Structure 1
Amino acid sequence: MTYIGENTGALAANLRTLCDQHGSVAAVCRKINVNRQQFNKYLSGVHVPSAANIRIIANYFGLSVPILFSDPEEFRTLVDGNFFHAMTTARQLPEFSRFISNMIVENNSQDNEIAGIYDRYQFSSIYKGFVLKSAFCIYRNREFLQHYYVERFPSFDTPRKTEYIFKYYGFCFPLADRLFTADFEGIQCNELTFGVYAQVKRNAKRFMFGISSGIAANVFRQPYSTKVALHYRGPGLLRREHLKALTVMDRNDPAIPREALQYLGDGLDMIQM
């Protein structure tokens, strides 16, 4: 334990503040299974908790160990501002528990509704003003839903020639009628992308609309955030015929589904850093 000397007084003051916020000292001692007499020595600044006990105390209050030893005035500002209380409350919500469960526990409830092949539409961050059509696939791999998608960009000088290809691989997490995705680019291996989507259940053509944000590990590809439309094409995995149609399209191209174009708008709200 390296938090000694003048930090002992800070810890004592911060523990008193926390006990005031969480009820009686006796109740706190029962919860963390620490002797009341020993805990009183912590409150008075006579003793500093052992490394094991300080971790127990920090975990109980949902804080990191360094924060427990921070300046008492700054600490009280955080506590009085309910920043810690807000996270404690969030952890106790059933919605939070369900979210965590869906992240790590097998979930078959929505597989039949969302697994399969999609056309993916978004405004391109490379070809400004054009709509990028890529191929997106959701599938089950053991206990997880996973996805991958492929982007192909034509050459500026020779449109029939493919200039760039990007392939993304990741995980899908269905939760509360939404689909959360996290993936990485597998060719250059320098970009992480995150998305959240919702199904349009009033439309029999099966669309999902959402937002995708990505950031590369270098300055050659700018961070971006943009609307994305997913149009369901059928079950299975991507095949060669799905990849042949991948390109960038003029936003007036009639091949773009009307519903997708209405959702995407004119692309002016695409955020780039």
Structure 2
Amino acid sequence: MDHLGRDAAALAANLRTLCERHGSVAAVCRKINVNRQQFNKYLSGAHIPSPANLRIIANYFGLSIPILFTNPDEFRALVDGNFFHAMATVRQLPEFSRFVSNMIVENNDAHDDIVGVYDRYQFSSIYKGFVLRSAFCIYRNKEFLQHYYVERFPSYDDPRKTEYVFKYYGFCFPVADRLFTADFEGIQSNELTFGVYAQVKRNSKKFMFGISSGIAATVFRQPYSTKVALHYRGPGLLRREHLKDLTVMDRNDPSIPREALQYLGDGSDMIQMS
């Protein structure tokens, strides 16, 4: 299959994924004012939309055009639980624009060096004394940097099974050599978290160290604040290979980078309501 064919196939698969999450194809066609017969050709991979229609489709789903052509497996990991309409609405709010201006955010190509996939380490607020490894991804969506990350918690009774999964989606704001993040949990939709990170430039390995705070509308997950270490894995979006090692570990687990563990310490400085 040639390059155009691969692009058409990826776009078709991703459009089908989006339509599944937005009710029906007919409803999407009505919203974007694109002929159903023509849209079916996009869904089958027979045609790629014109540049004008690509912009309409991307704007409707709150995505950039390049993301629409992402590998379908990576795309599903990105969209599963993500509220693109909410994100797009936030970006368009005058209040958000003023907030961005006041923060003096410089979201331009100079910050693309932080885009990519990271292993995220912190002491767990659920499994006390254990280190949580999650998968964190920063990506560019139009003029903004956004991020999402996935947490998996094993069962107390059978560690081979996953008991809980949490997925967070939000915005990144690079300001004065710091990265500020704000996100919400997309599965149970009851938690907000905020973070601030700094790159460790003295290390040849790519780390960002910082602090994350979260509050949920449930007694089970109490408000907390804790240190977080981000370890760069590579470019792109989250893939299956990034998700297979997500778990909670003993702090002496050899797979935890030494630099991350040194920064995290023993977890005794986590702030959490009792």
User: TM tier, shorter chain?
Assistant: 0.5 to 0.7
- 1:110 counterpart SS class: helix
Residues 33-90 of structure 1 show CA distances to partners (whole Å, capped at 9, x for unaligned) of xxxxxxxxxxxxxxxxxxxxxxxxxxxxxxxxxxxxxxxxxxxxxxxxxxxxxxxxxx
TM-score, L = length of structure 1: 0.62
- Of residues 92, 100, 104, the one that matches 1:101 is 104
Q: What is aligned with 1:148? A: 148
Partner Cα distance (2:244, 2:110) in 1: 32
Please list the CA deviations of residues 141-194 of structure 1 after superposition, one character each: whole Å capped at 9, or x if unmatched: 001100000000000110000000000000000010000000000000000000
Structure 2 residue 129 is the aligned partner of structure 1 residue 126: no
CA distance in 1, matches of 2:225, 2:246: 21
| Native 8 Å contact 2:194 2:213 kept in 1 | yes
Contact 1:99 1:175 (8 Å CA) reproduced: no
SS at match of 1:109: helix
Contact conserved, 2:137 with 2:237, CA < 8 A, in 1? yes
> 1:208 and 1:230 mapped to 2: Cα distance?
5
Counterpart secondary structure, 1:259:
helix
Aligned to 1:243: 243
**Matched residue type, 1:120:** R
Q: Structure 2: how far apart are the matches of 1:235 and 1:191?
A: 28
Q: Secondary structure at the match of 1:192?
A: strand
> For 1:204, what is the secondary structure of its paired residue?
coil
Structure 1: runs of 5+ lacking an equivalent: 1-95
Q: Which amino acid aligns with 1:166?
A: F
How far does the alpha carbon of each residue in 1:214-242 deviate from its partner, in whole angstroms, 9 at most, with x for none? 00022221000000000001000000111
1:160 corresponds to which residue?
A: 160
| Runs of 4+ off more than 4 Å | 96-99
What is the rounded CA distance, in whole Å, between the counterparts of 2:178 and 2:103 in structure 1?
Answer: 14
Instruction: Tell me the equivalent position of 2:184.
Output: 184
**Contact 2:135–2:150 at 8 Å: present in 1 too?**
yes
How far apart are residue 243 of structure 1 and its match?
0.5
| Percent of aligned pairs sharing the same letter | 85
Q: Is the 8 A contact 2:104 2:175 kept in 1?
A: no
For the residues of structure 2 that align with 1:167 and 1:231, how far apart are their CA atoms? Answer: 18
Correspondence for 1:138: 138
In the TM superposition, residue 99 of structure 1 has moved relative to its aligned partner by: 4.9
Alpha-carbon offset, residue 101 of structure 1: 3.2
Counterpart amino acid of 1:117?
A: V
Equivalent residue of 1:254, what SS?
A: coil
Instruction: Map 1:166-245 onto structure 2 (within 5 A).
Output: 166-245=166-245
3-state SS of paired residue (1:261):
helix
Amino acid at match of 2:243: L
Aligned partners of 2:183 and 2:194 also within 8 Å: yes
What is the Cα deviation at residue 106 of structure 1?
4.3
**What is the RMSD of the two structures over their aligned residues, measured on CA atoms?**
1.5
Q: How many residues align?
A: 175
- SS of the residue aligned with 2:110? coil
Q: Report which of the two structures shows the higher radius of gyration computed on alpha carbons.
A: 1
The aligned runs of 1:245-264 (5 Å cut-off) are 245-264=245-264
Contact 2:116–2:236 (CA under 8 A) maintained in structure 1:
yes
Letter in 2 for 1:272: Q
Q: TM-score normalized by structure 2? A: 0.62
Describe how 1:46-65 pairs up with structure 2 within 5 A: none
